[in-house]
Structure 1
Amino acid sequence: MPNFETITKSLQNYAKNPTIKTPVGVFVGGTSGIGLNTAITFARVNAASEFPTKIYLVGRDSSKAIEAENLIKEVNASAVVNFLKHDMCYIEQAKRVANIVKNHESKLNLLFVGQGGFPSGGRSETEEGIDRKVAVCYYTRWQVVDDLVSLLAKAAEDGESARVITVLGAGREAKAETLDITDFEMKNNYSVMRILSDTPAYNTLAAQRFAREYPKVSFIHTSPGFVTTSVFRDTAWYLRPFLKFATWFFAVTPKVSGESHLYAGLTAAEYDHGAHMLNQKMDEVYTEAEKESNKGLFSVELQEALWKDTERVFNLAISRDASQ
């Protein structure tokens, strides 16, 4: 387990001699919490790079974006910060984000996707026909990854770091045998518990699938544990005392979590390619034997079944947008 001193030293050593000439990072859900603090750390450790660090922050709140840019500029005055105001409940908006980045960049070093909050309430579909919580926890994340993976592959080909981080629930995924492969969208059997267990499973399955397709790029699914962010602001009232208690005793600060996530997303050599499911201590949740077993969540057949259905959902969502 890398302790925080190891993580800090790794980042400090990198900052003394950054290996990326023009670092490019995209942070979806990057105007607050873990996403923002990972972006700030990304800017800070690359401050001595040969050319300015380029950062894209994706969110819905322009005022938060201004605050975020100011914080980034404090640690890297030459950083170029671009705010993309988009609602990541929508596949069409996710594709717009990716298209903007592709129109301006030829490569990408870090793609961080961490949009969404703690799920509560019943099913609520967007005009695209997808539940908002399922969309932000899985579909829009992997639409962005699918559209931007070619830029990550280009960075990897050039010998630069190329990693994806999706922050959700590595280690608390539903077991493969409990997944309903006829209802990945959760249209027929919807519950908050399915959101909390099935969408982490989808992220782990997708990370494995993309790692096979792009072996030089790293796909990392993390579970941040309790972090002192506003992620629980929309939870049911009866859950708040428990969450408040857990936050008091077990939570880490967004700054600590951001540095830990950048360690995984940039400087940790053991995560420079392949698929990795990491807990809040940045330890692997699964053994290499489990990941190579072709069983459960590591079944290639299940990964492909999910992705085939995911592409169907993508295409249907875009067709609905086009018809409006």
Structure 2
Amino acid sequence: MPVALTAVQASNAQYAPSFRPVLVVFGGTSGIGAGLVRAFATHIPPHTGAHIVVVGRSKPAADALIASLPSNSNSQYDFVRVDALLVHDLRTFIRQELFGTLGLKKINYLVLSQGELKLDSTARTSEGFHPTISLMVYGRARAALDLAPLLQAAAAAGEDARIISVAAPGTGGAINLDDVALDKMGAIALRAAMITYTDIYVASLAQRFPDLAVTHVGPGFVKTGLARGLPWYLRPLWKFLEWAFAMTADESGERMMMVLVDPATKKGAFVKDHHNQPVAPSKYFDETAREVVWKSIEKRSDL
């Protein structure tokens, strides 16, 4: 059932953790990720504060975002730059910057929103992956695996320990277990299969780490930077559709925060829409598919 923005904001205003949360947002310099950062920084009780880590590509965008956040002596805002397109580079970044430079000891909330649309189905990174799949499947799943010890540390302390991956639940398409690497699909089928893969790795992460809550959440139609991956001739149409129908990143951020801190979401795998309502996983997701796809994701992202 649709939830009004005012109700969402009122719900977020009730957020009052007994601990000082650590929030790490991949893809946090623009769009949905930036909206969530603003919402979280706004609603965190001043006496509690939070450590918010914004991960993204653009330092100017991050500087502007951080400058817009509420001043709070108990809050710490950090930006760490990475181009997450290559999984090996992403893993090196996690070791050197999040474990190393920042010295994180725990993560309460890990938000995976990095991604872009790339309609050229023949495009490949130097690691051999389609760029969209590299960012939104291999990169996200591997980031969650590598950062799981910090989430487990939060869980062991009795604190929230949650992961959300922002995609498009309820729209998953057919997968081909004879083409588990998604090398032979056209752009439309590739995108649909990626959503089913998201359901699969969310369920698999929750199974691997039973003390965590792992959620595949849909943000609704949001004004974001996804158009940069479209061919030039489609960008004006996308921009018009955003202008006519899309919600702002700030509204989406409020809605994503509501999902992220929902007190009913403690442990396990969840699939939700931007009204914090359950969505059925892809009909193409079964236990056989989960085992085959998850094994492939783990192996191919171990770079």
Q: Which TM-score applies when normalising by structure 1?
A: 0.85
CA RMSD of aligned residues (A): 2.1
| 1:126 counterpart = 2:122 | no
Post-superposition Cα deviations, 1:207-264, rounded to whole Å, max 9, x if no partner, equal: 1111122223111112222112232233235544653453244311111100110111
Distance 1:10 1:237 in 2: 40
The alignment partner of 2:77 has SS state of strand
Query: What corresponds to 2:209 in structure 1?
Result: 214
Relative to its length, the structure with more helix (as a share) is 1
Closer/same/farther in 2, CA of residues 207 and 49 from structure 1, 3 Å limit: farther
Equivalences for residues 95-244 of structure 1 within 5 A: 95-99=91-95, 100-103=97-100, 104-174=103-173, 178-187=174-183, 189-240=184-235, 242-244=237-239
The alignment partner of 2:178 has SS state of coil
Query: What corresponds to 2:5 in structure 1?
Result: 4
Distance 1:241 1:217 in 2: 41
Q: Which TM-score applies when normalising by structure 2?
A: 0.90
Letter in 2 for 1:9: A
Q: Matched residue pairs, number?
A: 299
| 1:90 counterpart = 2:86 | yes
**C-alpha displacement of 1:141:** 0.6
Closer/same/farther in 2, CA of residues 146 and 278 from structure 1, 3 Å limit: same
8 A contact 2:167–2:195 mirrored in 1: yes
| 1:57 counterpart = 2:54 | yes
Shifted more, 41-50 versus 213-222: the winner is 41-50
The alignment partner of 1:233 has SS state of helix
Distance 1:238 1:120 in 2: 12
Post-superposition Cα deviations, 1:3-61, rounded to whole Å, max 9, x if no partner, equal: 323321111112xxx214221111100011110111122222224244x4212111111
8 A contact 1:123–1:190 mirrored in 2: no
Distance 1:296 1:234 in 2: 27
**C-alpha displacement of 1:285:** 0.9
Distance 1:20 1:91 in 2: 35
Post-superposition Cα deviations, 1:259-300, rounded to whole Å, max 9, x if no partner, equal: 11011111x1232322111223332112xxx79xxx841x23
The alignment partner of 1:8 has SS state of helix
Letter in 1 for 2:157: D
Unaligned runs of 5+ in 2: none
Closer/same/farther in 2, CA of residues 20 and 135 from structure 1, 3 Å limit: farther
Post-superposition Cα deviations, 1:108-145, rounded to whole Å, max 9, x if no partner, equal: 11111111122322422222222212101211011100
What is the percentage of aligned positions where both structures have the same residue?
A: 26
8 A contact 1:30–1:58 mirrored in 2: yes
Post-superposition Cα deviations, 1:146-201, rounded to whole Å, max 9, x if no partner, equal: 11112112212222111111111111011xxx3112323222x1321123201111
Letter in 2 for 1:284: P
The alignment partner of 2:215 has SS state of strand
Distance 2:45 2:71 in 1: 7
Query: What corresponds to 2:287 in structure 1?
Result: 300
Closer/same/farther in 2, CA of residues 241 and 32 from structure 1, 3 Å limit: closer
**Which of the residues 295, 298, 301 maps onto 1:311?**
298
8 A contact 2:23–2:52 mirrored in 1: yes
8 A contact 1:57–1:65 mirrored in 2: yes
Unaligned runs of 5+ in 1: 319-324
Query: What corresponds to 1:29 in structure 2?
Result: 27
Query: What corresponds to 1:321 in structure 2?
Result: none
The alignment partner of 2:179 has SS state of coil
